[in-house]
Structure formats: structure tokens, C-alpha cells
Structure 1
Amino acid sequence: MRMATYNIEWFANLFDRNDKLIVDDSWSGRHDVTKVQQIEAIAKVLTAIDADAILIVEAPNTGRTQNTVRALLRFTEAFNLRTSQAVMGFPNETHQELALLYDPSVMTLRHDPIGEPADENGSLDAPRFDTFFRIDLDVDATEDIVRFSKPPLELEIETNSGKTFRLIGTHLKSKSPHGATTRDEAIRLSIANRRKQLAQAVWLAQRVRSHLEKSEPVVLLGDLNDGPGLDEFEHLFGRSSVEILLKAGLYDPHAAQTHGPRPDVSLSTARFALPQEGRYLEALLDYIMVSKDLRDLQPRWRIWHPFKDAACWSNTELRDALLDASDHFPVTLDIDL
């Protein structure tokens, strides 16, 4: 079985208010990429990775007239993808949903949110992801009330061989100080955003531990918006969200390599243009973390980076598609389930 996580930038912009693909030469949200170019690029990438299940981060919107699952199914039908079914969890207000495309001939699944709902006072005991979490991060004796802007997607999955596991798809809040007009304001926003991100990671870690205590295999995948060197505040709280999840009992080789005694800073899953500096920022943001029982099955991870993966680099059509489709690149996990 192959699982994947893929953050598709501005995917929602490719659909009209009735979830029909806008196949024309108008500009997409990608710089110098038209809608038809991005649509074709996404289809080429999804066809190339050929995954049985793909977490789409920043999936099309669900709203008054739009529906994420309907939009994704129309996309898969247009390009005859074998991941012909889609599922999502709690919708959010950001126009960036979390959804899973999957091949129904390989697995059956259901949206299965765990935890008791908590009101605005929050709960200390990993409440349901669409409610409120209360936590003291042990830095200032102050409790924080946290809510996910994008509630993680929780699925129970059963493979055709009868194996079951838990899948948690996530997109943690970015640490960028959007809206800041002064350096002091940017610092305040950056610290507040990192506090929220770490609290979300603790919330996720509590949920992971609850599954592991019941001997339930876990796959946590998605965009954690965290990796070494992303901002000057990463050491302020003494730990990163990635490290919190690793210590909860999960493993991803790329995360382990970048948070080990000799960090490998060359690993990256995203590439962002910095026009004023005339260069690109590379970052490791996307992960597929597994519990020990799944790691013991000797899975294989791959980052489909157009310049760092030899097969992607040598295939010009795929390389160009990866660059046109998104500012993130897919990560896949091959595992015998």
C-alpha cells in the first residue's frame, strides 16, 4: 500500500462556486501558472505517485454552495484517477480543507472523530478536534485556550487484508506573522503563533498516545509547518511540534534526521520564492509519521522533490509538473498492509 500527503497550493481557486473545474488560461494562485496548467500539473503528479490514499492538504472549499468531496470527485473523474472516492472531516473557515482521496478497491474507511466535545473553557484531556483545548505550556504559568483553525481529519481504515489502523491528517497553523506592520508586532505574532502551534502538537500527541495505549496502529500525516531554521523563535520554548510528536511514539525518518545530533538540513518538501532576495527558501514541512508497530514492517518513505529525487529530476515532464502544481512536493510511504 502507498499512502501520500500532498499540500496543493490554491487548489480551491481551480473550481467555480458550483465545484466545476475552471479549465482556462486565466491565472491560478501560482505565480506565472494558468489554471489549466496547474490542473494538468496536479493530475500528472497524482498519476505519477499512484498512491492508494492521498491526504490533500489545502483541499477545495466546503461552503454555502461548494463541497470539498464533490470537487475532488469531479477532479478524479476528469482524469480517470483510481483514487475515485473522497472523505473529509470537520469543515473549516479557511477555504483550505483536509480531505483524503482513496482507492475503494484497496480499503474501506470512515470518519471517526475521537474525544469528548469541550466548550470555550477548554479541556485538558484531548477533546474532540473541532472544540477547545486548555493547556499550560510551562513557560509563564499561564493557561492557553486553543482551537484548531483546521481540525485534523481522523479516520478508521481497514485494508482488504483485514488490517485496521488509525489515520490522522493534519495541517498545523503557520508561524508566519501575517498582518504585522512593525517588527515588535511581528515578534508578538510570531511568539503567539508558535505557542498555538506547540499547543496543537501537544493536543495531537495526547490523541496519539491514547491510540498507542490501546495498541492501535497510527499514521499521522500532513503539513506540520515546522522544521529546523524556519524562524528565530524555534528554540524559545525548548521544543518543536515535530519533536513533540516524535516523543509521543511516532517515527518519520526525515523528521528524525533533521532533529538528530547531526541535523540534515538538505531535506525539504517545500520551496518558496523570496523575490526580494532573488532566491528560494527550502523547508521540511510535510511528514508521514507512523507508530512503532508500523515501522517494524519496514516501510519506505520518499519525498518527490523535482531537484533532489533522481527519478523526478530525470523525468522532465514530471519535474515541470511538480513545480507548476504547488509550492509543496508529495511525500509517500510504501508499507505492506
Structure 2
Amino acid sequence: MTTLKITTVNGEWMNDWFTPDAQPAAFKPTFSRDGEQGITAEAAGRLAKMISDIDADIIALVEAPSRAAELALFVNEYLSVDGTATYDFVQGDSGGSQKLALLFKPDRVTAALTSSTDAAPLIEPWLADVDGDGDLNEYAFTRNPLCCTADVDGARLEVVVAHLKSNFINQGRAMWQDPARRPEFIRAALRNRRRIANEAMHIRRAMEQRMDADPDSAFVVLGDLNDGPGQDYFEEMYLAHNVTDILVGSPYQPERLFGHAQADVAEDQRFSAVFDDFVTEEPQRHVLLDHILLSPALMNGGSPLSKVPGSGRLEHDAWAAQIAADGSARDERASDHRPASVSLAYA
């Protein structure tokens, strides 16, 4: 039995490291993020070392640079052995300066973009009420999911890389702490979460269609969902739902439930990001934003590929190994997210 390791990695604004799109693709010696200067080689080297230490066969990369030529520079300079790149890649064309990409080891996996016809149910705009005003309007993903098809020794695996709408609100802390502006912040927060929830629902519906066509289809949905298990303040107090529950499916159709790989991780280690929550005044809040969801066929043996029991993990050690000083500066860490992984077995 052979295993295939799949990981999702957040590159944390890799686009900062490169020249503007109007210029030939090249690394900048230094970059700026949050008003601080960083050394590009330090940040890129730490990200590459973390990726190499994890040693996955397939990597979903979110917050990848804006151009394929830039990602090629990163792979060729930082992810190569004796001049040969360890990974090939497919990059999406949606997302502005935060693209989505799929890296894969070409000696183990062949991957390509899913045909536009097959991807259309997932990426085409749809009707939704994202403002809570009772009106349906056309809505589209902030970043279209990257849909790929991978071949693993003749076994087909569909991969959907997602980076859902951000919860970020400009000047949010100041708005929340100002009683006169707090209602404005709440409305913006709810609008963002409705958008995230609608994007999750659309992915779920597309995957339902895929299972209708082939109940034994093998697919994985992974990436930064900008939401974790349980409810945050706004989901609990206003919306009464979260995003990952929408994606996983209904318990009334247990045969259609997705497997959540990170459920294998001990509860106190089940987080990928840490931040100070100014809404709940919770310092160093631990949240699982990065997820790997597996189709039923990968969980119940309906596919030639199947989840290795207990293999879901969060790569805390590989992440921590790349922290310098306190890791607060961008070039002192590989990323602000811990990667998530799972392994699949095949004959």
C-alpha cells in the first residue's frame, strides 16, 4: 500500500515579494507589510523550508503570487534539488494579488485544470441574498475556487482549492470600540459572514451535483475557509450558523457527509491561526481556519483512494521550526497559518 500526502498552505501575501505586474517577474530584495520592511529571501526561505519539511505530494497554496512566472521563480529558486524543481504547479486566474495554486510532485502525480465545462457549476455566478435585505442578487466568489483533476497511478482525484471571502474590516477595531460606529461594524461583519456562508453553500451544492453524477467520486475540498468549527460571536449571536457545518453536510444524509481530516487532531491542537480577538477581548485566540474535507468515497472505501485512518494533522512542528525571534515580523515566520495535512492510501 502506498500513501499520498496532501497539504494546504497559506503563503501569507507571497505577492509582496515580487516586482509589480507591469514589470518582468523578479524577486524584490525587500518588501513592505503592515508598515514594516522585510527581507524577501528570509520570508521565502522560511516558507520553502516549511514546505520541504512537510514533504507533501500535493499542496494547495493560497495567497500565492499574482503571476505564474512569479510562482515559478519561487519553486525554481527555493523548492529545487540540484537544479531540478521538486514541484510542478497549476495556478488559477482569479484572486487578484492573492491567487490559488496547486503544487504537485510530477514523479508521483499528474495534475491539470478541470475543464471549463466541468468546473462551471462551481465557479459561475449565482443568486443569493448576501446583504440580508430579502432580495436575491447575482453573486460571485471573491476568488473562484481552483478546480483541478489529479491522476495518482491511474486513480482520479478531484481537488478544489478554496480561499473564501475574508472577515477583515478596515479600521475594524476602532469601529467596534466606538459606540457610535459599532452598528456600522456589526452590519459589515454580518455582510462578510453571509458572503462566506453563501460561498460555502455554493461549493457544497456543486459537490452534491458531483455526487449525484457519481456517488463514488473521489474529491477533496481544502484551503483557507476563513471560518472554524463552532460559532464566533456574530455567528452565535446573529446568524446561528457557521461555515464549515454547511460544507460538511447534513446528518440527515450521513452517506453524503464529508470527512473532516483535522478531526483526527487533539482538540487543544486543533487550530491553524492565533490572533487577538478585539470583539470578545480574547487574547491569543486559537482558530482553525485551514481545512481539508474529503468526499464520502475517500472515507468509506468507495474509491481506489482512501483516507489513512488517523492521518489528519496540523503541521505545528514544521511551522514552529521556522519561527525566528517572536515571529511577529513577516520575515520571521513561514506563514501566519499552520498548514493542515492528510494522507490517502492506494494500491
TM-score with structure 2 setting the length: 0.78
Give 2:27's match in structure 1, choosing from 21, 27, 41: 21
Q: Does 1 or 2 have the higher relative contact order (CA < 8 Å, sep 6+)?
A: 2
Counterparts of 1:162-311 in structure 2 under 5 Å?
A: 162-178=154-170, 181=175, 182-213=181-212, 214=214, 215-228=216-229, 231-235=232-236, 236-247=238-249, 249-254=257-262, 264=267, 266-272=269-275, 279-296=283-300, 297-299=306-308, 300-305=311-316, 309=317
Residue 112 of structure 2 corresponds to 110
Question: Aligned partner of 2:27: which letter?
Answer: L
Name structure 2 gaps, 5 residues minimum: 176-180, 250-255, 301-305
Find the aligned partners of 1:146 and 1:134 in 2 and give their Cα distance.
6
* Superposed CA offset, 1:284-335 (max 9, x none): 1000110122124342111112xxx5x766xxx4454986111111111111
The offset of 1:185, in angstroms, is 0.9
State how far apart, in whole Å, the 1-side matches of 2:165 and 2:17 are: 23
Q: Which runs of 5+ in 1 are unaligned?
A: 62-66, 118-125, 259-263
Show the counterpart of 2:333. 324
Please give the alpha-carbon distance, in whole angstroms, between the structure 2 residues aligned to 1:113 and 1:30: 41
The alignment's TM-score, normalised by the length of structure 1, stands at: 0.80
- 2:9·2:339 contact (CA, 8 Å) conserved in 1? yes
Compared CA separation, residues 23 and 319, structure 1 to 2 (3 A): same
- For 1:34, the equivalent position in structure 2 comes to 39
* Cα-Cα RMSD: 3.2
Which residue is 2:142 aligned to?
149
Q: Is the 8 A contact 1:230 1:283 kept in 2?
A: no
Determine helix, strand or coil for the equivalent of 1:233: helix
Residue of 52, 59, 78 corresponding to 2:57 = 52
